[in-house]
Amino acid sequence: MGATPTVRGTGRAPDAHEAALQVDPALEAFVRDELLLGLDDLDPDTFWATFAALNRLFQRRTAELLARRDDLQRQVDGWHAAHPGPLDEAGRDEYAGFLTDIGYLVPEAEPRLTVTGVDTEIAELAGPQLVVPSTVPRYALNAANARWGSLFDALYGTDVLPLDHELAKGYDEARGAQVIAEADRLLDELFPLADGSHADVGAYTVTDGSLAPALADPAQFAGHRGDAASPTAVLLRRNGLHVELTIDPESRVGRGHHAGVADVVCESAVTTIVDLEDSVSTVDGEDKANAYRTWLGLMNGNLVSSFEKGGQTVTRRAEPDREHTAPDGSTATLPGRSTLLVRVVGHHMRTDAVRTADGEPVGEGLLDLFVAVTAALHDLRDLGAHRNSRTGSVYVVKPKQHGPEEVALTVDMFAAVEEALGLPGCTVKIGVMDEEKRTSVNLSACVAAASDRIIFVNTGFLDRTGDEIHTCFAGGPVVPKGDMKSQTWFGAYEDRNVDVALRAGFGGTAQVGKGMWAKPAAMREMLETKIEQPRAGADCAWVPSPTAATLHALHYLRVDVGARQDELASRPLTDRSLLLAPPLLGGDRPSAETVRHELETNAQSILGYVVRWVDLGVGCSTVPDLDGVGLMEDRATLRISCQLLANWLAHGIVDEQTVRETFARLAAFVDEQNEGEPGYRPMTADLDASPSFQAALELVFTGREEPNGYTEPILTAWRRTAKKAAAQGR
């Protein structure tokens, strides 16, 4: 890259006014001392001048598209106000005609993917996907290393297997035997022997490239480690995923195993999204620098995290690749880490971590993109300890897009960043979150707008529900949150996402994703139900932890997703008019008990999440519900809860006084749940002065007016208030 960047499309250098930026000192130092270290062709002045030119290039177009969102919503509000209540088939047809007339609904497209250079983990492998906040390096390393996970640990330490006694300290022999028996059962199911059961095996050996005892399908044997006559590991493969039997008869576990197996290690989190968006609380330059530092450390391999565990200091870093001897005697190398994507913020976000010469905050999503791709140069140029993309690609997930025009804006941003950094076209691939209604109903056109770089579409039920409520807000009160999944639009949304993707050629080229399992401790329930996602044709789905990834991997070992996609590709395309059925109550009104339960449930979850976001700067956490069941909460879950209460408030299902009284009562309950949390400040010490409590109320009382019902602006303002107060010692 030259020393003088040009404004894309003009060939001219930015003038001094364009190039001048006001950059937060912490962010400026990060860029100068860390991000650009080793990138000899890119100095800080050039970096910031280039970004200034990019920001200027896209700021007006972005503002116009955001204004278009607001204008469309005003027109939709008017239509729903004139046509209140649920819509029958005729009503949906009339609604579709109206949406077409105003440009909300665009003609169906017939896209075909032309994307190339996609890593195998995204293009071909079906498996679990993690999403991890970029603000916690330890968690990010855990997620990156979750490419391989211990099945023994996952079975031993969760509720998957029943437990009828209190576990002994250290290693519980009875629990261990239970785990070994279940592992044998799973091996018999997934990797059956030609004769007998894995439970009867006394030793695994390798002879002339074949496993003994023999597998029913010899092709499932993928290799071994150590001496063939007494291997230290046996590698198996099914549906593209690997399972390793780690053998150590002298280990604590191996001593009690009939074949000396110390662990069954599953290939688990095939891909991971490092998140700069919904799961983080980043409100200033210092926060942004910390978040970017994690992504950079993963790209250059320098990320290290040390922490205390069991009275000892544990240091964690990215795992190396894994080597085995293949059946033909060659060396088989498997990636030791999850393939990483990065999720940036949406077009609607701006940040004053960087300001223009006129003092205007810059586009935060564009800043995220430019920094993230610059960090990935360390990987693309093979400057780091490990490679993330072996095909020379950078994977960026873009959320909160509304329709094909906004996807086209993102594509142009990607192309401009590539040009600015001297990268080949389509180096930066896009993952599209199908989480806004205008994207769902126009998904084929959205895919068409990015057909040469799209590698991912993902359904996000919670954000999608929040936008669903906001879109039909004027039509009347919506159904309770727990009833949303039984609504017409929901099933159509989940099916149509797969239909559009498969028709566009995603199979074997790009990921079709499904949403998060929100109960981190309920692994037995997850095992029983989440298999429906690969059966639905999804080759990745989100899980809340590395342990959950290992257990969810069992679903992909059971289901051949590629074969399932081939079956689904021929089914009729789901009628998109079904997506237009609003989830409204109509003339029905919920009972007093239903109203009370809904109000209390949502108030408690809002307060439980907001108090951690605002007071502690935690963007994603497990929040216990009213019954003490831990639920994973992020801004998507917050959005739906706030929109539902705002909707019921606007339509008289609840009143302001009752809302305030309920929130005040539940604040004491949440304080109790968080007692002992380091740094926690009880809201009830002074509700009027509590930034968290006031933020929670504002999110509900202004939920109707907030563009698209997004929660970020209010959270950010109150988090800054809390940080300022903490800095002043109050």
Q: Which of 467, 634, 639, 681 is catalytic?
A: 634
Cis ω for the linkage preceding 213 (within 30 of 0): yes
Helix %, strand %, coil % of the chain (to 5): 45, 15, 35
Q: Give Cα separations from 528 to 330, 522, 551, 642 (angstroms).
A: 39, 10, 11, 30
Query: For residue 365, what are its two tokens?
Result: 């999503």
φ, ψ (nearest 5 deg) of residue 90? -65, -40
> Which residues, other chains included, contact 374 with Cβ-Cβ below 8 Å and sequence gap of 6+?
35, 36, 39, 42, 47, 421
**Residue 634 falls in the annotated catalytic set:** yes
In the structure encoding, which two tokens stand for residue 106, read together?
């665009």
Q: Is the dihedral of CA 172, 175, 180, 183 positive or negative?
A: negative
Tokens representing 206? 């390798």
Q: Which of 69, 147, 343, 438 is catalytic?
A: 343
Give the residue from 486, 496, 595, 580 showing the smallest Cα distance to 86. 580
Does the active-site annotation cover 343? Answer: yes
Closest CA to 335 of 146, 607, 57: 146
Task: Give the pair of three-digit tokens for residue 473.
Answer: 């807000």
Supply the Cα-derived Rg of the chain in whole angstroms. Answer: 26
633-670 in b/e form (b: 16+ CB < 10 A) is bbbbbbbbbbbbbbbbbebebbeeeebeebbbebbebb
- Those residues whose C-beta lies under 8 Å from the C-beta of residue 188, and which sit 6 or more positions away, are 197, 198, 199
Count of other CB atoms within 10 angstroms of residue 45: 11
Query: Distance (Å, rounded) from C-alpha 143 to C-alpha 295?
Result: 12
Token pair, residue 184, equals: 């044998």
**Residues classed as catalytic:** 343, 634
